[in-house]
């Protein structure tokens, strides 16, 4: 008993002594890890110099929003289906139908509730992801418009490759 107490005291003294003298590391700002105004502005430009408009983010936001909406509709349909089964099975039957018997047809009301719960549960994070994608697309679009206003000479000229079955080339587009 005394030996255990001595070991406990020694280990606690070692741990408290080791922690009491330990200081947090100081942060040293050098030119390598210090952001310059130019680097900070480049980090904030989500349009990558006006090359991206946020079209991909808008498309993905539309797809995920429609998926979330369809899951919400499916969940509502399953809730209604479960209520219909419950009303149907609660009727006075001399011989209950097979879908109302738990041993033969399973518990259809419970399955409909589980299906609706899963649909609603999956619709929430997908809807949130859609909102985040839409927000990012709007930010990219805003940055692209700001870049085009700052660089009007560069935004009016574009060069794009094109291909067809029998050839290809470059298309030069000039807006004025």
Q: What pLDDT, in 10s, does the model give residues 139-155?
A: 989 888 888 788 776 65
Between CA 125 and CA 55 the distance in angstroms is 22
For residues 143 and 53, give the distance between their C-alpha atoms in angstroms, rounded to a whole number: 8
Counting DSSP H helices and E strands in the chain, the numbers are 5, 2
Q: What is the pTM of this model?
A: 0.59
Extract the tokens encoding 57: 């983010």
Quick one: DSSP state of residue 27? P
Averaged pLDDT of the chain: 78
Element (H, E) at 140: helix 108-150
The residues, ordered by sequence, that sit 6+ positions from 175 with a Cβ below 8 Å of its Cβ are 156, 157
3-class DSSP state of 156: coil
**Can you tell me the distance from the alpha carbon of 75 to that of 136, in angstroms, rounded to the nearest whole number?**
29
Residue 62 has pLDDT above 90, yes or no: yes
Min mean pLDDT across 10-19, 40-49, 112-121 is at 10-19
Q: How far apart are CA 118 and CA 74, in angstroms?
A: 10
Q: Two tokens at 8?
A: 């406990």
Residue with the larger pLDDT of the pair 14 and 93 = 93
Q: How many residues are given for the chain?
A: 176
The residue extents of the domains of the chain are 50-154
Is the pLDDT at 17 greater than 70? The verdict is no
């Amino acid at each position: 008993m005394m030996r255990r107490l001595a070991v406990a005291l020694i280990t606690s003294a070692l741990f408290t002594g080791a922690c009491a003298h330990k200081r947090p590391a100081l942060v040293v700002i050098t030119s390598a890890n210090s952001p310059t105004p130019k680097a900070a502005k480049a980090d904030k430009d989500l349009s990558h110099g006006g090359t991206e408009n946020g079209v991909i983010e808008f498309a993905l936001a539309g797809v995920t929003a429609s998926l979330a909406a369809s899951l919400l509709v499916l969940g509502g349909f399953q809730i209604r289906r479960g209520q219909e089964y419950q009303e149907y099975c609660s009727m006075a039957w001399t011989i209950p139908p097979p879908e109302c018997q738990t041993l033969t047809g399973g518990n259809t009301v419970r399955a409909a509730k589980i299906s609706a719960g899963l649909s609603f549960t999956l619709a929430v994070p997908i809807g949130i992801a859609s909102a985040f994608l839409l927000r990012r697309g709007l930010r990219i679009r805003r940055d692209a418009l700001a870049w085009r206003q700052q660089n009007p000479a560069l935004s009016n000229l574009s060069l794009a490759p094109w291909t067809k079955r029998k050839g290809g080339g470059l298309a030069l587009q000039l807006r004025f």
